[in-house]
Amino acid sequence: MLSSPALPVLPALPALIPGPLAAEEAGVAPATIRKWVQLGHLRAAGRAGRAQLFRLEDVFAAERLARRRPRTA
C-alpha cells in the first residue's frame, strides 16, 4: 500500500488585530496604543485600509515596557 509523505507542520502565523481590540486586550485606552506607536514602543505589523494592525505579543511587550518605566512630570 502506498502512503503519501507527511506534510510538514508549519508554525501558526501570529494573528493581527486592530488598535481598539489591542487596547481592550491590554486593558488600556485606544489612545494609549496610539501613544505607544508615537513613542516608538510599539510598531504596527500591518494595515487593513487605514487601520493599523498589531501582533498581540508586541502589544503585551509594549505594555510591560510602559509599566517598568517611571512616569515623568
Per-residue pLDDT tens over the stretch 47-71: 999 999 999 999 999 999 888 876 6
Pairing state between β 16-18 and 46-48? unpaired
Residue 73's pLDDT band, with cuts at 50, 70 and 90, is low
**What is the pLDDT of the chain when averaged over all its residues?**
87
How confident is the model over 7-32, as a mean pLDDT? 87
pLDDT on residue 66: 87
To the question of pTM greater than 0.75 for the whole model, the response is no
Task: Reply yes or no on whether the pLDDT at 38 is more than 80.
Answer: yes
What Å distances lie between residue 66 and 3, 15, 27, 33, 63, CA to CA? 53, 23, 13, 11, 5
Q: In what order do the strands lie in the sheet with 46-48?
A: 16-18, 51-55, 46-48
Q: Which pLDDT value is given to residue 1?
A: 55
